[in-house]
Amino acid sequence: MTLPCTENIPSKCTVLIIGGGPAGSSSATHLVKAGIDVVLLERSKFPRNQVGESLIPHFWKFADQLGVSEKIEQEGFIKKSGAITAWDNKIHQTDFSKYGYTRPGLQVERDIFDNLLLDHSKSQGAQVFNQVVVKDINLASVNPVIRYIDTRKEENREGTIQCRFVIDASGHSAMIANQLGTKNIISTELNFLSLWGYFKHSRYIGCDRKSHDASELNSVAPVTFVSSHKDGWLWHIILREKTSVGLIVHTDRLSGMNKQQRESYFKQTCAELPYVKDLLKNASFMENSLNYRPDYSYYTTQSCGENYYCIGDAAGFVDPVFSHGVQNSFYNAAVTCLAITESLKTPQKQARYAQLCENRMQQFYGFSRALSLGDFGCNGVNNQLVVSLMKALPPLELELILIASEMTNRSDNFKKIAQQAGVWDRISANLKDQSLGLVHSLY
Q: pLDDT tens digit string along 206-265?
A: 999 999 999 999 999 999 999 999 888 999 999 999 999 999 998 888 888 999 999 999
Which among 246, 263, 293 is the end of a domain?
293
**Are 150 and 207 in the same domain?**
no
Domain assignment of residue 213, given as a range: 192-293
Binning pLDDT at 50, 70 and 90, where does residue 285 land? Answer: very high
Output the CA torsion sign for 66, 69, 74, 76.
positive
Looking at 241, 274, 293, the residue that finishes a domain is 293
**Residue 2 has what pLDDT?**
40
The answer to whether residues 149 and 270 belong to one domain is no
* 259-270 pLDDT tens trace: 999 999 999 999
Distance of alpha carbon 112 from alpha carbon 179, whole angstroms: 31
Report how far residue 386's alpha carbon sits from residue 372's, in angstroms, rounded to the nearest whole number: 13
Asked whether residue 341 falls in the same domain as residue 386, the answer is yes
Q: What is the pLDDT of residues 304-349, one digit of tens each?
A: 999 999 999 999 988 888 888 899 999 999 999 999 999 999 999 9
Q: What would the pLDDT profile of 354-388 be if each residue is shown by its tens digit?
A: 999 999 999 888 888 777 777 666 777 788 888 88
Same domain, 317 and 250: no
Same domain, 385 and 357: yes
116 and 201 part of one domain? no
**Does 355 reside within a domain?**
yes
CB 332 within 8 A of CB 23: yes
pLDDT at 144: 97
Confidence of residue 143 (pLDDT cuts 50, 70, 90): very high
- 328/347 same-domain check: yes
What percent of the chain stands above pLDDT 70? Answer: 94
Residues 223 and 308 reside in one and the same domain: no
Co-location of 210 and 151 in the same domain = no
Residue 408 lies in a domain: no
Q: How many domains does the chain have?
A: 2
| Same domain for 328 and 181 | yes
Residue where a domain stops, chosen among 293, 319, 339:
293
Within a domain: 319: yes
- Both 306 and 349 in one domain: the answer is yes
| pLDDT on residue 5 | 46
For residue 181, is it within any domain? Answer: yes
Burial environment of residue 63 by CB neighbours within 10 A (0 to 12, 13 to 18, 19 or more): buried
pLDDT in tens, 59-86: 999 999 999 999 999 999 999 999 999 9
pLDDT of residue 4: 41
Whole-structure pTM value: 0.92
